[in-house]
With several copies, the nearest count.
Chain A
């Protein structure tokens, strides 16, 4: 789960990482009130889960409460890469002498947390990695050794931070960020920029924060950060129903069991000349209710002209799936053609159940490729 800037900063603060004083605002009036409380210049920042806010006009400096209200009016409702701005973070403006970059990524390849630190902050880190790789210090931490103070020294000296006070502050932040990363079950924590003010104070001016969905059960406070409004409405419905769903742009609705097979199903529809309307994974279980829920989500998309339902049973049993399809047909009054392919555990029983039901909009095909071809024809 990705967190908004203000949420990540809240966690940073809990772990002792210095951030600026700020308030959340949903309306221009709230923005004004926040600016009054904070005092002086403030920055009005769109809270959306996408990059490039600055370029899109989502981050503005305001001189006073009046100005903050005006800037809030400008920014609220903006569409930034498909994300409509509904929340603002009003934060005390900082003077910036230097911009650094600090992050920890859960490195799946190395199977270790990966620190990245550079004094060349404030830009995309990929740019630094490409144009000035020597300026970027990369350092893995062993999960059993855990964080040790030498890690901070390698990063700080390695990146060439020379001021002793900066060294000390940044070393402390490095340790705090690691604790935050581990204790919040983060997959990514990024501070860009990590600024040094003209007074020599180091603080986090932005936050990028991704938390492991599988660990949310033990972080109820973080789980509450979930931003229901921020997702595509269909994806939000899917999440509510516990269905893994990604909206695509075509006309063939796709439902498979397992991420790999579902992805492959999307590919095969493309190979068969069709355009997938979505990616939808029934997951491991695949009981009747799950099937009904998934079909409800998929058919809410008006672009869908046919559905390819591709099941290879393992832990999922095909007879259960077949019953789910029949139940969905009845409960959702579905008329869109559904092409079904069943294989694996109890496939024969499943096919028999569907054959006996003899629904007019139900097509059972023997292979994945046949089924894809039929679904593409029916969507045309």
Chain B
């Protein structure tokens, strides 16, 4: 099984003819992802190393059977690309693009939610189901197949945790980078729900960071709905309040959103929280052993 992307994924990349889209699209294909199409308006009929390029997502769905879209176009074109994918019948959209205005994503999000489509991102590293499919920029070689679901607001931090797990012999069912923007298509809870339902996933690691209250909400949801063990790492224990740390998510205002508050909320519902990536990996090992 795995979640979001797997052997049934038929990927279309919006922006496949751009340099980044091409690099990562082909890298995803080299990993084994079924890359069936690219979309670049005006370049329909061309191909990128054998992958057919269409003018519209609708053509990619109709002619190449695409069911999953990766959006790799610049921020000012990305909302349009998401709408296009959703209205063309794509059921999973993974948006890598960063710097999409929050108000625009808000409208996209609200619309997409009414359509029952899974949207991951924007400003996210994508989704990897080791051994099955990789959609995005996650360095797949770091991870190996296994039963630990990994969900994170941060890209590189996810790789770090995956690396620590892999070094200890543990693999992943799926790694999901939900992104750190003010509005992301899927929250921790949305992904936890999928992991809970996924037969292949036995354990989940949730990688959070300071700012907002998504981790606190996830804690409540875990307490109410989750039967599988959850471990967590929170970044930003040493962050000073009131400063934005890189992306919009990472800001502490007043006493809410601190790493300590999140750790406490999670621990209160039985989630073991590590204070370094190494420690969380060791907690998972200890529980598994």
Contact surface of A with B, Cβ cutoff 8 Å = 106, 108-109, 111-113, 126, 142-145, 148-150, 153-154, 157-158, 164, 167, 182, 185, 187, 212-215, 217-218, 244, 246, 248, 256-264, 266-271, 276, 279, 281, 284, 311-316, 343-345, 367-369
Q: Measured between C-beta atoms, what is the minimum distance from A210 to chain B in Å?
A: 10
Give per-residue flags for B180-200: 1 if the beta carbon is below 8 A from chain A beta carbons, else 0: 101100000000000000000
Which among A108, A167, A267, A312 is the interface contact of B163 at CB below 8 angstroms? A312
Number of A-B residue pairs, CB cutoff 8 Å, is 211
Cβ-closest chain A residue relative to B54 = A157
Whole-angstrom CA separation of A367 from B79 in the bound complex: 39
Whether A343 contacts B163 in the complex (CB less than 8 A), given A263-B236, A264-B157, A368-B278, comes out as yes
Number of interface residues of B (CB under 8 A): 78
The residue on A at minimum CB distance from B238 is: A270
Given the known interface contacts A248-B240, A263-B210, A312-B159, the answer about A157 and B41 at a Cβ–Cβ threshold of 8 Å is: yes
Which residues from chain B sit less than 8 Å from chain A, CB to CB? Answer: 20, 24, 41-42, 44, 55-59, 75-77, 79-81, 83-84, 87, 98-104, 106-107, 109-111, 114, 125, 137-139, 142, 152-160, 163, 180, 182-183, 207, 209-210, 212-214, 217, 233, 235-240, 243-250, 254, 259, 275-278
On chain B, the residues within 8 Å of A182 by CB distance are: 103
Contact of B109 among A111, A212, A314 (CB under 8 A): A111
Contacts of B57 in A (CB 8 A): 150
Chain A neighbourhood of B41, CB < 8 A: 153, 157
Residues of chain B lying within 8 A (CB to CB) of residue A284: 98, 155
Contacting residues, chain B, for A148 (C-beta < 8 A): 79-80, 83-84
Q: A109-B214, A258-B157 are in contact. Are A266 and B239 (CB under 8 A)?
A: yes
A257: contacting residue among B56, B79, B156, B210, CB under 8 A: B156
Contact B84 A217 (CB under 8 A): no
Closest 6 CB pairs of A and B: A260-B154, A259-B246, A260-B157, A258-B156, A215-B101, A150-B84
Measured CA separation A345–B180 after assembly (Å): 22
Q: Apart from A111-B183, A145-B83, A263-B239, what 17 extra A-B contacts exist at CB < 8 Å?
A: A108-B183, A111-B109, A149-B77, A150-B83, A212-B182, A259-B154, A259-B180, A260-B153, A261-B159, A267-B236, A312-B157, A314-B155, A315-B20, A343-B142, A343-B159, A344-B163, A368-B276
Q: How near does chain A come to B150, taking the closest CB pair, in angstroms?
A: 13
**Given A111-B110, A185-B103, A264-B277, CB of A259 within 8 Å of CB of B139:** no
A263 and B110 contacting across the interface, CB-CB below 8 Å: no
In the bound complex, do residue B102 and residue A259 qualify as a contact, i.e. CB atoms below 8 Å apart?
no
Are A263's CB and B250's CB within 8 A? yes
A217 & B246 in contact (Cβ 8 Å cutoff):
no
Out of B56, B79, B142, B209, name the residue touching A260 (CB < 8 Å). Answer: B209
Residue from B56, B75, B100, B277 in contact with A158 in the complex, judged by beta carbons closer than 8 Å: B56
Residue in B55, B84, B102, B233 whose beta carbon sits within 8 Å of that of A214 in the complex: B102
Give the distance to chain B from A27, nearest Cβ to Cβ, in Å.
30
**Shortest beta-carbon distance, B231 to chain A, in Å?**
15
Kindly list chain B residues whose C-beta atoms are within 8 Å of the C-beta of A112: 106
**Distance in angstroms between the alpha carbons of A52 and B278 in the assembled complex:** 41
- Assembly CA distance A262 to B137 (angstroms): 18
CA distance A106 to B243 in the complex (A): 18
Which chain B positions have C-beta within 8 A of A344? 139, 142, 156, 159, 163
Taking the nearest CB of chain A, how far is it from the CB of B184, in angstroms? 9
Q: Is the CB of A259 within 8 A of B247?
A: yes
A142-B87, A143-B110, A246-B243 known; A154+B58 contact, CB < 8 A: yes
Q: Bound state CA distance, A268 and B189, in angstroms?
A: 27
In the complex, which residues of chain B have a beta carbon less than 8 angstroms from the beta carbon of A368?
A: 160, 276-278
